[in-house]
Amino acid sequence: MVDSLLEEFETDIVAIGLIPSKGGVFEVIVDGDLIYSKKATGVHAEYEDVAGPIRERA
């Protein structure tokens, strides 16, 4: 997913950070706002689950 995000948003992304955790937590935060949470949904994100909200912010 990171490769696809970098390809689509290469001129907009300043940094991507990975914070290891336990329990299958996968969250995507953009400019301090949570845009996807596997912990909240119980479902691992598909690309569009993350890319769509990022596009909407542009």
Query: Per-domain residue ranges for the chain?
Result: 2-57
C-alpha to C-alpha distances, 9 to 2, 40, 48, nearest whole angstrom: 10, 25, 13
Per-residue model confidence (pLDDT) at position 50:
95
Instruction: With a cut of 80, say whether residue 58 has pLDDT above it.
Output: no
Per-residue model confidence (pLDDT) at position 47:
95
38 near 45, Cβ under 8 Å?
yes
Cα 25 to Cα 19: distance, rounded to the nearest angstrom: 10
Residues forming beta bridges with residue 36, ordered by sequence position: 28
Q: Tell me the pTM.
A: 0.81
What are 46's two structure tokens? 């598909």
In tens, the pLDDT along 6-51 reads 999 999 888 888 888 888 889 999 999 999 999 999 999 999 999 9
State which CATH number among 3.40.50.2020, 3.40.50.720, 3.40.50.300, 3.40.30.10 fits the domain covering 2-57: 3.40.30.10
Per-residue model confidence (pLDDT) at position 22:
84
Residues forming beta bridges with residue 33, ordered by sequence position: 30
